[in-house]
């Protein structure tokens, strides 16, 4: 079955360490997105990529970095520069001729 | 970035009650989407609306695309405990363009 996979589901890191969240899709979707969700809050866009080897900053890109070397993969690195990294991170993908996004099941990052 | 105005922010209801939530925007959209997010999971698409005035049902869920193209509502009839979660509206101007999300409505259903 096609889908979008985020791993791991739960991630713990010490303050000051960089951490990379994985997002892989086998839907042949062109575009991929990273969102951050804090408790009781909506979805805030971190980065998005509409094509391989190209990506754009979203609304809250500071302290994050991404790469898009393959169509299927869009990893997100949470760097030590991100002041408040503990959150629920969601990856999504979309294809131009179909409306809406398909979301992964999320990664909950806790920094202690 | 632009956000949709989604209300109410939260709802606490008894099992069996009907629920209504809505989204409004200052911009027009050509597609309205409604997602549900179960606790600890990613949002899942419930209903997609493509035409102004369109009314679409999916089981106990009914959603409408406002005539002005600037609003949409979602109704849930005869709520059950598994309806608990966060409901998001989203607007899309064209296929392939970025979605604009509402802030979400947190629904709690008491058995």
Reference B11, options B62, B70, B100, B76; nearest CA is B76
B3 vs A contacts (CB less than 8 Å): 42
Q: Where are the beta strands (DSSP E) in chain A?
A: 4-7, 10-13, 19-25, 31-37, 43-51, 54-57, 64-66, 76-78, 87-94, 102-103, 107-111
User: How confident is the prediction for chain B on average, in pLDDT?
Assistant: 94
Neighbours of A19 (CB within 10 A): 18
Report the residue count for chain A.
Answer: 112
What's the CA gap between A90 and B43, in Å, rounded? 9
Structure tokens, A28: 């042949």
- Residue B2 pLDDT: 57
Q: Is A15:A30 a contact under the CB 8 Å cutoff?
A: no
A42 vs B contacts (CB less than 8 Å): 3, 88, 101-104
- Residue A2 pLDDT: 74
Q: What are the residues of chain A with a beta carbon less than 8 Å away from any beta carbon of chain B?
A: 6, 30-31, 33, 40-43, 45, 48, 58-59, 88, 90, 92, 94-106, 108
Q: Is A82:A66 a contact under the CB 8 Å cutoff?
A: no
B13's enclosing H/E stretch is strand B10-14
- Residue A1 pLDDT: 66
Q: Is A80:A14 a contact under the CB 8 Å cutoff?
A: no
> Which SS3 state, helix, strand or coil, does residue B81 take?
helix
- Does B31 contact A108 at a Cβ distance shorter than 8 Å? no
What's the CA gap between B4 and B24, in Å, rounded? 6
Span B5-23, pLDDT tens digits:
999 999 999 999 999 999 9
- Does A40 contact B50 at a Cβ distance shorter than 8 Å? no
- Residue A97 pLDDT: 65
> Which SS3 state, helix, strand or coil, does residue B83 take?
helix
- Closest-CA residue in chain B for A88? B40
Provide the residue-wise pLDDT of chain A in tens; the chain has 112 residues: 679 999 999 999 999 999 999 999 999 999 999 999 998 788 999 999 999 999 999 999 999 999 999 999 999 999 999 999 999 999 999 987 667 899 999 999 999 9
Q: Which of A11, A29, A36, A43 to mutate to test the interface with B (most CBs of B within 10 A)?
A: A43
Shortest Cα–Cα distance, A92 to chain B (Å): 9
- Does B101 contact A104 at a Cβ distance shorter than 8 Å? no
What's the CA gap between A93 and B28, in Å, rounded? 23
- Residue B80 pLDDT: 97
Span B28-80, pLDDT tens digits:
999 999 999 999 999 999 999 999 999 999 999 999 999 999 999 999 999 99
B88 vs A contacts (CB less than 8 Å): 42-43
Shortest Cα–Cα distance, A14 to chain B (Å): 22
What do you get for the CA distance between the two ends of chain A, in Å? 36
Span A44-61, pLDDT tens digits:
999 999 999 999 999 999
């Amino acid at each position: 079955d096609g889908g979008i996979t985020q791993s791991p589901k739960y991630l713990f890191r010490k303050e000051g360490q960089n951490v990379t969240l994985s997002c892989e899709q086998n839907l042949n979707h062109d575009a991929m997105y990273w969102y951050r969700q804090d408790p009781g809050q909506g979805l805030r866009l971190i980065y998005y990529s509409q094509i391989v080897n190209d990506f754009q900053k979203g609304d809250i890109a500071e302290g994050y970095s991404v790469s898009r070397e393959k169509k299927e993969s869009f990893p997100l690195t949470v760097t030590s520069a991100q002041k408040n990294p503990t959150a629920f991170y969601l990856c999504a993908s979309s294809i131009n001729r179909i409306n809406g996004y398909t979301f992964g099941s999320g990664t909950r990052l806790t920094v202690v | 970035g632009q956000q949709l105005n989604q209300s109410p922010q939260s709802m606490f209801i008894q099992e069996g009650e009907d629920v209504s939530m809505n989204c409004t925007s200052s911009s027009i959209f050509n597609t309205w989407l409604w997602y549900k997010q179960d606790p600890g999971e990613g949002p899942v698409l419930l209903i997609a609306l493509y035409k102004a005035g369109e009314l679409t049902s999916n089981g106990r869920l009914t959603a409408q695309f406002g005539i002005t193209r600037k609003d949409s509502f979602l109704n849930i009839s005869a709520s059950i405990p598994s309806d608990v979660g966060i409901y998001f509206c989203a607007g899309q101007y064209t296929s392939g363009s970025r979605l604009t999300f509402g802030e979400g409505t947190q629904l709690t259903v008491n058995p």
